[in-house]
Amino acid sequence: IKESFTRKVTLLLVKSADLIVQNIKHDSADQLIKPRMDQPIISDNLCEALISMQPTGDRSLLKIIPTWSRTAPVTQTIPSVVRIPKEYFPTIEKVAQELRPKEEPKKDLFIGRIDALYGKPSADGLPQGEVTFVTVLPDNEILKAKIDLSPEDYAAACDAHKYTLFVELHGVLHRGTRIHRITDCENFRVRREPLL
C-alpha cells in the first residue's frame, strides 16, 4: 500500500523528534549535526518548531503522540509517544544554531516601527539603550529585533514611538532562535514623509 504524504511527514516528524531526544539523553547531541546515512536529517526549522512549542513550568514536558488509521496500521517500528523534557530545550536551541546556514551578515537598510523602549539613563542622565524594532523583510517576513541606541538615536526612537512614525536605519541583522538583533546601527532617523 502506498503511504500518503501526510503519513510520510508524520513518520518523519516522530522519528526525527525521537532521534533528538535519544541523542540528548545519551549526551551525544553533537551527532545531530551530521546524522548517519540511515537516520533522518535534522533541520534548524524542525528544532525551531519544537522550541516554539516549549512548555512552561520547570518539570513540564512536550509530548508528541501520533495516531494512525485503524484500517492502515503502521508497519514500521515507531515510538507511540515522544517525550521532550523542558531541560532538553536549551540543547535543542544550540543544535538549531549549529544547523542554521552560516551566512556572513552584511549591513542593510531597514525601515519599520519602534515596538518597545527599554532604555535607561546613562552617566550624563540621558536615556539610551535597547529598543524593540519591527520591520517587514522583502519576503514579507515580519521580524522583531533588538537594537542598542545612543542617547541621540534613543530620543528620536522615543518620538517615533510616541507618534507611531516609521524609522529607518542601516545595520547588520543577526538572527537568533527567538530573539533577533541588529548591530552596528548607523543613520538612524525618523521618517516623517509617508512610505511609497
Q: Which amino acid is at 88?
A: Y
Query: What pTM was estimated for this model as a whole?
Result: 0.55
Q: What is the pLDDT of residues 15-55, one digit of tens each?
A: 999 999 999 999 999 999 988 888 888 988 899 899 989 88
**pLDDT value at residue 196:** 52
Segment 45-64, tens digit of pLDDT:
899 899 989 888 878 899 99
Residue 138 confidence (pLDDT):
83
From residue 77, alpha-carbon distances to 1, 11, 18 in Å are 17, 10, 12
Q: Report pLDDT for 153.
A: 96
Q: Strand pairing of 127-136 and 107-117?
A: antiparallel
Task: Tell me the three cell numbers of residue 87.
Answer: 531541560
- What tens digit of pLDDT does each residue of 137-165 get? 887 888 999 999 999 999 999 999 999 99
Q: Answer whether residue 194 shows pLDDT above 70.
A: no
| Total length of the chain | 196
The band of 85, judged by pLDDT with boundaries at 50, 70 and 90, is very high
- pLDDT attached to residue 177: 67
Closest CA to 46 of 8, 82, 14: 14
8 Å CB contact between 47 and 95 = yes
